Amino acid sequence: MAERVNIFDAIGANKRNSYFLIFLVLGIFLGMVWILSEVFEYGACGYTLGFFALMIYGLTAYFAGDKIVLALSKAKEIKRSEYPFIYNVVEGLSIAANIPMPKIYLIDDPSPNAFATGRDPKHSSIAVTKGLLDTMNREELEGVLAHEISHIANYDIRFMTLTVVLIGAIGLLSQIVLRSFIFGGLRGGGRRGQGGVLVIIGLAFVILAPLFAMFVRFAISRQREYLADANAAKLTRYPPGLASALEKISKYPHGVKNASDVTAPLYISNPLKKAEGLFATHPPVADRIKRLRSM
C-alpha cells in the first residue's frame, strides 16, 4: 500500500526544496565565476560582472522561468473560442482545487503528453500536445488535466520549473568554462603557484556539472507524481480515467519532438520514450496505473 502524504506537508516541502535549489545552483554559479576570474586574471571586473549576472539570472529564473520553458517547448497560448471544451474542463478543475485558472498552451506535436509550469498558482500555465487532445476521451483528458492542476495546487510547478531553468544554466556555464580553457589558455594564477590547482578545480566543475544536473533531475521526487495522481483521482472522482490516459501515453511509440533531457521532468510521462533506469524522472507507468486502478 502506498504511503500517505499530507498535502500541506508536501506543499511546504516543495517550497523549501525550491529555495534550497536556488541557493545551491547559484552557489555553483559563483564558484565558476571565481574560477574564471582567478585562472584568467579577470580580477575585480570578473567578480563584478559575475555578481550582476548572478542577480539577473536569479531573477530571470524565478520570474520568467515558465516563459523560458514554454518557449523551449514551442507552446502557443490558445483562446477559449478555439478550444472551449478544454477551457471548460480546466476552469472546473481549478474551481475544485481552489486555485486561479491557469493559462492554457498548445504544443503542435502528435505525441500525447502535457505539463504544468509557473512559480505559483497565480502565475501558472498548462501545456498540452495536440496529440493529447486527439487521442484522449473526456474522462482521460480530465484525468491528465487534473494531474497538472494538482501539480499547480501543490506548488510542484515552482520546484520543477526552477529545476529546468537552473539545470540549463549549469550546462551553459560548464561550456563557458571548458571553452575558456581551450581557447583562452592559462593566463593567471601561475604567479601565485596556484595555476595548476585552479585548472584542476575548473576542469572538475566542467566534468561534475552534468552529473550534478542529473542528480537534480533525480531530486525531483517521484513521490510528487504519485501525489499528483492521487489528487487528480480525488478531483475527478474517477481514477480509471487517468489510468487509461497514462496507458495510452506510454504506448505511443514516438516522443515529443521539442522535449529534451532538461524539460522532460515537467511532463506527466517521460516524453523522450527512452529507458532512464536508476535516474528516471518519473515513477514506472505500470506502477502508477496499478495504484490508480486500486483506488
Model pLDDT, residue 191 = 46
Model pLDDT, residue 279 = 63
Q: Which of 148, 225, 247, 276 is catalytic?
A: 148
Model pLDDT, residue 50 = 72
- pLDDT, mean over the chain: 82
Residues 85-101 have a mean pLDDT of 96
**End-to-end Cα distance, the chain:** 11
| Residue 121 pLDDT greater than 70, yes or no | yes
Residue 111 pLDDT level (bands cut at 50, 70, 90): very high
Active site residue 148: yes
Question: What percentage of residues in the chain have a pLDDT greater than 70?
Answer: 76
Please state the three-class secondary structure of 235-282 as a single string. HHCCHHHHHHHHHHHHHCCCCCCCCCCCCHHHECCCCCCCCCHHHCCC
Residue 65 pLDDT level (bands cut at 50, 70, 90): confident
Exposure of 184 in the CB half-sphere (CA atoms within 13 A): 16
Residue 51 pLDDT level (bands cut at 50, 70, 90): confident
What are phi and psi for residue 73, nearest 5 degrees?
A: -85, -5
- Cα–Cα dist 86/133, whole Å: 9
Which carries the bigger pLDDT value, residue 30 or residue 227?
227
Residues 280-285 have a mean pLDDT of 82
Question: With 0-12 CB in 10 A as exposed, 13-18 as middle and 19+ as buried, what is 294?
Answer: exposed
Residues 99-116 have a mean pLDDT of 97
pTM (2 d.p.): 0.80
Residues 7-26 have a mean pLDDT of 68
CB 158 within 8 A of CB 63: no
Nearest to 129 by CA among 146, 111, 147: 111
pLDDT digits (tens, 9 = 90+) for 77-90: 999 999 999 999 99
Place of cell 575548473: 202
